[in-house]
Amino acid sequence: MAIIIDADKCGHIQNCPGEGLCIKLCETGALTDVDGDVAVDDSKCDECDLCIQNCPNQAISKQ
């Protein structure tokens, strides 16, 4: 399954109450900061769901 970032809910890293917590929690490096937005590399994602469970904006889900 692919990880989906809802850009409207995410609000960019600078506006995130967790200051990019999903990126900090991602142990595989699947989530990165690209020009202030969260980008997903599905090939690195191990589907641990830490990003989904800890997103303060509930902006991350699985497709």
Query: What are the residue boundaries of the structural domains of the chain, listed by start?
Result: 3-62
List, for residues 1-58, the tens digit of each pLDDT value. 789 999 899 988 988 999 999 999 999 999 999 999 999 999 999 999 999 999 999 9
Q: Which fold has domain 3-62?
A: Alpha-Beta Plaits (3.30.70)
Give the pLDDT score at 23.
96
The bridge status of strand 37-40 relative to strand 31-34 is antiparallel
Long-range (24+ apart) CB contacts under 8 A made by 51-54 are 51/3, 51/22, 51/25, 51/26, 52/3, 54/18, 54/21, 54/22, 54/25
Give the pLDDT score at 1.
74
Give the pLDDT score at 32.
96
pTM above 0.95, yes or no: no
Give the pLDDT score at 39.
95
